[in-house]
Amino acid sequence: MILHKDRDCPVCGSKRKDIIFHQDFTNVSGGTLLTGYDVVICLGCGFGYADGLPEQAEFDSYYEQMSKYEYEYLDGEQSDFDARRFPVAADFIRSLLPDLQARVLDIGCSNGGLLHALQRTGYTNIMGLDPSPVCVRNVERLYGIPVTAGTLSHLPPELGLFDCVFLGAVLEHVRELKTALGQTRSLLKPGGLLYVEVPDITRFTCSPDAPFQEFSIEHINYFSVVSLKNLLISEGFDMIRSSQTTTMLGNNIISPELKAMFRMVDIPSCPTITQDTETKRILTEYIGNSRGVETRIHMAIAPWVENRKPIIVWGVGTHTQRLLATSGLAQASIQAFVDSNPRYQGKLIYGLPILPPLALKERGEPILISSRFFQKEIEHQIRDELGLGNELILLYDV
């Protein structure tokens, strides 16, 4: 049984918080990290974060066993999205780390897209760390860059010290932020640099993604420039420069990114915390917008619940797990679930199997595509790659 515990504010340590939303997910047998959490605002500093979570060890185990960043359907190669965003990050890093022989470690390197962008820029002393053994093999196979299996919680002892450490798309996933940054400090040479990239909460309302998608199973910390700076300063890092960028994901969805470079200094005894006045307002607006979209989605699902016509649901990630927990979808006559991620295949939702896409060759039921971002891609896969004529139930006008 996974125990969920309250969190004090990961930035300022305050126990005072305001609950602004509760997120729910359904259970996937053998593949569930959590079935819900509260989204809260710290009344001490204004930081937004998820509360009522499993311990960090459960997160580490989940990312090792259920990683969705291996891109097996691409044989480990970069997605179009990564191919656009990593060169931008590499240029930002190069502007602040001109020494191409600097020793660099990318923590949570996934399939090595950022490392490869740095390699192409001219860096020669780079390596990665990732919990997924598949990602470790992919990076070494594709780019010849050394990678070690591990996490911030369990650092391999032989890593040594680095001139610069990357935490790109990491801190939004980590329950114990101060512990993670303490471990990061142990990897840096005196005065070493820390590159951080996280989703930019101040622009959550700018992208028409699926409702509540930013409150995903994996994203549990919601950073603004102010809150990110507050966290890093309190752990002994001075901000050198920050940058707010966007990358187009597709289907009119943008990914708002907050990039920042810090230098390691002494940990202050009494860090100065700046009040974050934006986060509550923006998250409240985001919640309101999501509720409006979700109402329309529930209305689109309702006829299939009422007519009890057998259907198949394609997609079992955050989008589906929330719909099953909060809409009438669970009462529809679902015959099976489909997902391209082999980590999900063979597991069960509501006692129903999660099948690989090829299994649809033998099925004629209508297919409900439970994704906004991948809706067109899945539709293309069904029609053009699998050659299926099944009726499609589309939830978004994209």
Higher-pLDDT residue of 21, 269:
21
**Where among 242, 269, 296 does a domain terminate?**
269
**Where among 269, 292, 316 does a domain terminate?**
269
Structural domain that includes position 251? 65-269
Kindly indicate the confidence band of residue 1, based on its pLDDT and cuts at 50, 70 and 90. Answer: very low
My answer on whether 102 and 218 are in the same domain is: yes
The residues facing 244 across adjacent strands are: 258
Write out pLDDT tens, residues 200-237: 999 998 877 899 999 998 899 999 999 999 999 999 99
Q: Considering the domain boundaries, does residue 56 fall inside one?
A: no
Number of Cβ within 10 Å of residue 295's Cβ equals 11
Asked whether the beta carbons of 293 and 323 are under 8 A apart, the reply is no
Kindly indicate the confidence band of residue 67, based on its pLDDT and cuts at 50, 70 and 90. Answer: low
Strands, E assignment, 118-216? 126-130, 147-149, 162-168, 188-199
My answer on whether 190 and 80 are in the same domain is: yes
Q: What is the pLDDT of residue 3?
A: 54
Q: What is the pLDDT of residue 99?
A: 97
- CATH code, 320: 3.40.50.720
Tell me the mean pLDDT in the region 102-129.
96
My answer on whether 331 and 217 are in the same domain is: no
In the numeric block, the tokens 């974050």 are attached to 276
Six-digit token string for 140: 């070494």
- With a cut of 80, say whether residue 272 has pLDDT above it: yes
Q: What percent of the chain has pLDDT over 70?
A: 94
Number of Cβ within 10 Å of residue 174's Cβ equals 22
**Where among 244, 269, 294 does a domain terminate?**
269
Kindly indicate the confidence band of residue 48, based on its pLDDT and cuts at 50, 70 and 90. Answer: very high
Burial class (CB in 10 A: 0-12, 13-18, 19+), 183: middle
Among residues 275, 304, 273, the alpha carbon closest in space to that of 369 is found at 304
Q: Considering the domain boundaries, does residue 52 fall inside one?
A: no
Q: What percent of the chain has pLDDT over 90?
A: 76
Q: Considering the domain boundaries, does residue 283 fall inside one?
A: no
Count of the separate structural domains present in the chain? 2
Tell me the mean pLDDT in the region 276-285.
96
My answer on whether 360 and 229 are in the same domain is: no
- CATH code, 92: 3.40.50.150
Write out pLDDT tens, residues 148-195: 999 888 899 889 999 999 999 999 999 999 999 999 999 999 999 999
My answer on whether 313 and 243 are in the same domain is: no
Cα 82 from chain centre: 13
- In our burial notation (b when 16+ CB lie closer than 10 A, e otherwise), range 380-394 reads ebbeeeeebebebbe
**Eight-state DSSP code of residue 189:** E
Q: Considering the domain boundaries, does residue 15 fall inside one?
A: no
Q: What angle do CA 137, 141, 145 make, to 5 degrees?
A: 85
Q: What is the pLDDT of residue 78?
A: 65
Q: What is the pLDDT of residue 234?
A: 96
Burial class (CB in 10 A: 0-12, 13-18, 19+), 302: middle
Six-digit token string for 270: 């009494």
The secondary structure of 12-58 as a DSSP string is T----EEEEEEEE----TT--S-SEEEEEEETTT--EEEESB--HHH
- With a cut of 80, say whether residue 239 has pLDDT above it: yes
My answer on whether 370 and 226 are in the same domain is: no
36-42: strand order across its sheet = 17-24, 36-42, 48-51, 221-222
pTM attached to this predicted model? 0.92
Asked whether the beta carbons of 340 and 41 are under 8 A apart, the reply is no
Write out pLDDT tens, residues 310-328: 999 999 999 999 999 999 9
Write out pLDDT tens, residues 288-313: 999 999 999 999 999 999 999 999 99
My answer on whether 114 and 250 are in the same domain is: yes
- With a cut of 60, say whether residue 337 has pLDDT above it: yes
Write out pLDDT tens, residues 365-385: 999 999 998 899 899 999 999
Write out pLDDT tens, residues 7-33: 999 999 999 999 999 999 998 887 778
- With a cut of 80, say whether residue 5 has pLDDT above it: no
**Eight-state DSSP code of residue 115:** H
My answer on whether 85 and 196 are in the same domain is: yes
Pick from 79-93, 314-328, 336-350, 352-366: least confident: 79-93
Q: Considering the domain boundaries, does residue 26 fall inside one?
A: no
Helix, strand, coil % (nearest 5) of the chain? 35, 25, 40
